[in-house]
Amino acid sequence: MEKLSFSVSSYLKSIIGQDLITDDFVAVFELVKNSFDAGATTVDLFFDEDRIVISDNGKGMSYDDIKNKWLFVAYSAKQDGSEDFLGGAADYRASLKPYAGSKGVGRFSCDRLGGVLNLQSKRKDSSVVNALKVNWSDFDVSPLSKFENIKVSYYEKSSFDIPYEIEIPVPSGTVLDISVVRERWDRSKLKALKSSLAKLINPFGSNDFFAINLIAPSELEEDNELLSANDEHDLPPNEIVNGPVDNFIFSTLQEKTTWLSTKIIGAEVVTELTDRGKLIYKISQPNNYKELEGSSFESNIFYLNRSAKATFARRMGINSVSFGSIFLFKNGFRVYPIGEANDDTFGIDRRKQQGYSRYLGTRDVLGKIDVYGGEDKFKESSSRDKGLIETRAYLELEECFKSECFLRLESYITGVTWKFKFDKFLEDPSFLNSDDAKSQAINYLAGLTSDSNVKILDYAKDIFTIIENKIDGAEKTLENLSDLAKKVGDDELSLRARSAAKQYKDMLRAEAEAVAYAEREQKARIAAESAAVNAMSTLEIEKQKNLFLTSLSSKGEETLQNLHHQIIIYSANAIILTQDKIKELNAGHQIDRDELHLTFEKMLLTLKRISAASRFATSANFKMESNTITEDVGLYIEQYSKRVHLINESLINIEVLNEGVGFACKFAPIDLSILIDNLVNNAHKANATTIKFHVRKIDRNTLEISVADDGDGISQDIKNQDKIFEKGVTTSNGSGLGLYFVREALTKMNGTIEVAHTQPLKSGANFIIRIYK
């Protein structure tokens, strides 16, 4: 039997060079990854009209390295474990066995970029620079030529020969000097390369040990013009071609978005959800993904609401959709094309098509998956731009990402934040202060932790607390809260939740009694009033609807009874609050200071509601059939300010410019009255003589109300002005609850309030209120 062997044509060069690596950016990435694996801390990328130079300060190569490794096609010292790493002990790469590249063909990226390669390399312990010249066209002469018979020139030099703009590698390094460049690198292409390089190395983590600099002398003049005309911080990242490649700083997103972090730590999967800087929960569960053990699996996903998308576009100079979605990093480097704008590796968009309003898509999220491992677990496709091959470890990675990361974030977004349409405009988690939002969050976490294997490690104690007001499903929410409290070992909270459930039932009973009383009184009048109602019905059609009647004598008994009904309900709540605390004191119980403060807070709001209801009864006849109505908000503000507030308190001049006629939504008139009262009273305390309400429609679904006064303004002592809407924050001797109540009332109306940065009056405070349908 005759033994035969393969012969290799010189055309193999093209197959594993420019034919395999079809993208210029990928070619540059492959060479930068080689620098990373060589322990370099700096890589300089130089682009001239017909020259590309890639220089690093890695460990360099000796003559033997070049002959036996670099010229050995498809051989990788990284793969057989003979690669030596010379980085410092503090370098994060020192503890990593896997490398960014390990196929032994990345060096042929040089062929993609240009026709001639001059390689220069020096080891730390050597005094000479080893040089190699490769003319890639020599391999293309004939397909019958054998690969190994094509000669390349080796020689030694005393020093590096590189452009003066590049620092000479010290004490070791490698320079790839590529000429006869195949493609033109204009400014737009260089900017695109710089942006792509920023995503090459994990942009979510710290890369203090590895810097990439781009140098293009032909673009210096335009760079300088941009810098002289603009503040550098105002320019989008990578708008300037020359300079370091800055990784995107995701810490800015962490403060502006809802994001979920998942890590496999030993035998546990640890998940942490944070909403715009506020920890919601941290949980752990057993790790059932055995193929991912030891892979340091970590995922961070950011949900981008409208506000976050606007922030991203403003700071990055590119919209988030064009930037990408969920990136995958293997051993610190990106795996292409996963995460690109049109990539749907994880089937996120395919799933969204099945339920558009129920699911998140790639346009809604931005994030990464990070793993470390060898080719046996996470093997890249040979084409370098086709992602990872479906090994068992990769399939587990997909499942872990979908189940433990993406779906958990989605369930919070769709189950909690999407319940409040206005939340998409917020940069802070203030909506979570409302009882409705707390209820949604409590029920969400209760469902998440219903599995006995899930442990709660931490949670937002100010969110997972007692529901204070009447909301749908409050009893179930309080039961879930009690169960959660038991699970985390908070016996006091569990006891308070049970007590709150009892209070809630008492409140419902008191309301039921009040309603029954009101209904009995109404039935006694129905027959007598029916004729009068019919006679007056034609007069109800007016050119402009009057919500208030200024004549006290025109106040009907039914309207008074409705207001009486509301006062009874609020009074019953106040009585229950007071009686419960008296019972606790009589029983010798110690009342917690925070709990007592909360009780007084509830009492204050209840008394404000009683006061507001009394004003209606004594100052003007409001056409109110129930505690909530659907009416024109701007018209209500205009008429309440003129006909109720001024009758009771002529504290300051109130001006209302109503350009929002026709914007009707559901609201509680008494709560909206308290909102107006608080804003006017705050202005009065700040020595204002005038307060102006400017109401206008932004679009068919958005009403904007500018509230400006000419008082002393917000105290300079409050550095973060958004804090004034939090409980207890005050610059006067007040309770610090006025603006907090304002925000709470707006939350119930699908509204927001923020401090405006422009002031229509010469001095004072200015707030912007937005209400959404």
pTM of the model: 0.64
Mean pLDDT of the region 697-725: 83
Q: In sequence order, what are the residues at sequence separation of 6 or more whose Cβ sits closer than 8 angstroms to the Cβ of residue 136? A: 13, 17, 110, 111, 115, 116, 117
For residue 719, pLDDT beyond 80 = no
As given in the structure block, the two tokens for residue 506 are: 């008492």
Q: Are strands 365-371 and 278-286 parallel, antiparallel or unpaired?
A: unpaired
Q: CA-to-CA distance for 640 and 647, rounded, in angstroms?
A: 10
For residue 222, pLDDT beyond 90 = yes
Q: Which residue has the higher pLDDT, 157 or 1?
A: 157
Is 299 exposed, middle or buried (CB count within 10 Å of its CB: 0-12, 13-18, 19+)? buried
Q: Look at 34-43, 125-134, 511-520 and tell me which has the smallest mean pLDDT.
A: 511-520
Mean pLDDT of the region 441-450: 82
pLDDT of residue 201: 67
Q: CA-to-CA distance for 207 and 32, rounded, in angstroms?
A: 14
Dihedral angle of Cα 131, 136, 139, 140, to the nearest 10 degrees: -170
Is 625 exposed, middle or buried (CB count within 10 Å of its CB: 0-12, 13-18, 19+)? exposed
pLDDT of residue 184: 94
CA 407 to chain centre: 16
Q: CA-to-CA distance for 60 and 64, rounded, in angstroms?
A: 12
Q: Look at 8-12, 188-192, 767-771 and tell me which has the smallest mean pLDDT.
A: 8-12
Is 318 exposed, middle or buried (CB count within 10 Å of its CB: 0-12, 13-18, 19+)? middle
Position 531 confidence tier, pLDDT thresholds 50, 70, 90 = very low
pLDDT per position as a tens digit, 267-320? 999 999 998 888 888 999 999 999 999 999 999 999 988 877 877 777 777 788
Q: CA-to-CA distance for 668 and 749, rounded, in angstroms?
A: 8
For residue 572, pLDDT beyond 70 = no
For residue 7, pLDDT beyond 60 = yes
pLDDT of residue 733: 56
Q: Are strands 268-275 and 129-135 parallel, antiparallel or unpaired?
A: unpaired
- SS3 label, residue 192: helix
Q: Closest Cα to residue 298, out of 194, 407, 160, 205?
A: 205
In the block, tokens 């920890």 appear at: 279
For residue 603, pLDDT beyond 80 = no
**338 phi/psi in degrees, rounded to 5:** -60, 125
Q: CA-to-CA distance for 562 and 356, rounded, in angstroms?
A: 43
- For residue 629, give the DSSP letter: E
In the block, tokens 């907090």 appear at: 740
Mean pLDDT of the region 51-77: 90
pLDDT per position as a tens digit, 664-702? 888 888 788 878 888 888 888 888 888 999 999 988 888
pLDDT per position as a tens digit, 104-150? 567 888 999 999 999 999 999 999 999 999 999 998 888 888 888 88
For residue 200, pLDDT beyond 90 = no
Q: Percent of the chain beyond pLDDT 70? A: 70
What is the set of domains in the chain, with CATH numbers? 12-244 (3.30.565.10), 251-415 (3.30.230), 542-772 (3.30.565.10)
Beta carbons of 428 and 277 less than 8 angstroms apart: yes
pLDDT of residue 272: 95
Q: Percent of the chain beyond pLDDT 90? A: 27
For residue 619, pLDDT beyond 60 = no
User: What is the Rg, in whole angstroms, of the alpha carbon atoms belonging to the chain?
Assistant: 35
- Could you list the beta-strand ranges (E) of 617-762: 621-622, 629-632, 653-659, 664-667, 690-699, 702-709, 751-755
Mean pLDDT of the region 394-406: 95
Q: Look at 362-366, 626-630, 743-747 and tell me which has the smallest mean pLDDT.
A: 626-630
Strand (E) or helix (H) holding 681? helix 669-685
- SS3 label, residue 516: helix
Q: Which residue has the higher pLDDT, 180 or 447?
A: 180
Could you tell me which residues are beta bridge partners of residue 119? 132, 176
pLDDT per position as a tens digit, 80-94? 555 555 554 444 444
Is 604 exposed, middle or buried (CB count within 10 Å of its CB: 0-12, 13-18, 19+)? middle
Q: Look at 155-169, 314-328, 480-494, 738-752 and tell me which has the smallest mean pLDDT.
A: 480-494
Highest mean pLDDT among 171-175, 223-227, 746-750, 756-760: 171-175
For residue 367, pLDDT beyond 80 = yes
Q: CA-to-CA distance for 433 and 148, rounded, in angstroms?
A: 72
Mean pLDDT of the region 617-638: 69
